[in-house]
Amino acid sequence: MLGKTTHKAFFLVPPEVQLLDLTGPAHLFYEAKEYGAPIDIHYLSLGDEKECVSSAGISLGQLKAFDQFELTENDLLFLPGLESHLFFDEAFVTKLRPFFDWLEKQAERGAKVCSVCTGAYFLGLAGLLDHKFCTTHWKYLKDFQERFPKAKLLSDRLLVKDGNLYSSAGVSSGIDLTLYLLEELFGSIFAAKIAKEVVIYFRRTENDPQLSVFLQYRNHVENRIHQVQDELAQNLAQKQKIEELAEIVHMSPRNLTRLFRKTTGITIGDYLEKLRVEHAVQLLSAGSKVNTAAMACGLQSSNQLRSLLRKHKSVLPSQLRS
């Protein structure tokens, strides 16, 4: 049931805003409105300016000053990320004091205040995160914790809810957060319709990690190991021998095995298992049959895949743990 209560969705458009942080959630609310949800959408500036230039150089106009509005518990406010140098500029932060005061009042009034990526700095600077659980982009975790030591910062989390404060890790997780909110407001069936409309079939949840295993263990400069990781990830359906991998990078199997573990911190076998588990979860969550997923992951049978998933049960989405 969509209900009759109108929900106002406000999107802050700060200078040098990260486009996907803003437009991803905004587009989903637009689609929800098109599907009949009682939503009004507004775009806010940090002052009197009616136009702001994004970090990508695109101008965004028809903005309204934030202080024209008072939000209620039926409303939502999205705070997207922006170029980090602005948060490190004391003059810029000092200039925002009226906005931070306003933001604090809207949170006290019960509005759902939602940050995407470095938008969490708005919450922190407004003093809203003391003793609150939150997250932000993985690159800024250390700085964020140092700046806001009272915040209960959660690393390796896509999205976090604490009361009426919501935070997400960045870019695509802002879309995950929006679907989470649409589900809260209008139910899971409606949220699924919106996900399907924008061709998002695999919804991530607040328990999923920020970084895919396809991106983890890649923070190194050893090109030969990158080549092996690429080979494994791009050919999961094929069974590859250590000798074949070693030949690709012109090393002996023994040296490759040693260098891989030294460089990534895990063995080739463990890395391959993690790749298979994540790929299987993606396929199964999108509706693939167990046997099809097993073959796509280079396993010989559905039983072999079930055994692998049981072994890694702790990292599985809740719907795949039974």
Contacts of 81 (CB under 8 A, 6+ apart): 17, 18, 21, 116, 117, 118, 119, 137, 170
* Catalytic site positions: 117
Which residue has 């695999």 as its token pair?
202
| 111 and 72 Cβ atoms separated by less than 8 Å | yes
**Phi-psi region for residue 261, left (φ > 0), alpha (ψ -120 to 50) or beta?**
alpha
DSSP 62-112: --EEGGG----TT-EEEE--B-HHHHT-HHHHHHTHHHHHHHHHHHHTT-E
DSSP 171-200: THHHHHHHHHHHHHHH-HHHHHHHHHHTT-
Listed as own residue / partner, the contacts of 311-318 with beta carbons closer than 8 Å and 24 or more positions apart are 311/273, 312/273, 312/274, 312/277, 315/209, 315/277, 316/277, 316/281, 317/205, 317/207, 317/208, 317/281, 317/285, 318/205, 318/207
| DSSP class of 224 | H
Tokens of 192: 């699924």
